Amino acid sequence: MANNMQEFIIGIVIVGVTLVIGIYVAATIAGTMTAGSAARNSSNDLVTALAGGSAWITILVVVGFAVIVLGMLSEGLGRAAGGVGGPVY
């Protein structure tokens, strides 16, 4: 289960870094274009859209951790019900 949590955290970090780099590149490209052009406006729209993505990332993180915790609980309860590690009478 620890591997799943590690993979999940690494995935979230990769997504976050990719978003930050994407926002930076789009903002830099927008700064080199002519003011008021369609290309600059679309680049600025991209920056706004990517910056607003933090809400769904937060939801994914919460759901991901909930799945990991529930998986750990069900694995532990399954072992306890199977007699592994339980009290011996």
Domain ranges of the chain: 2-81
Residue 2: pLDDT band by 50, 70, 90 thresholds?
A: low
- CA triple 20-59-76, angle to 5 deg: 120
Residue 78 and residue 47 in contact, taking contact as beta carbons nearer than 8 Å: no
Question: Rounded distance, CA 73 to CA 86, Å?
Answer: 15
pLDDT tens digits, residue range 9-45?
A: 888 888 888 888 888 888 888 888 888 899 888 888 8
Question: Rounded distance, CA 75 to CA 71, Å?
Answer: 6
pLDDT tens digits, residue range 52-70?
A: 877 777 787 888 888 888 8
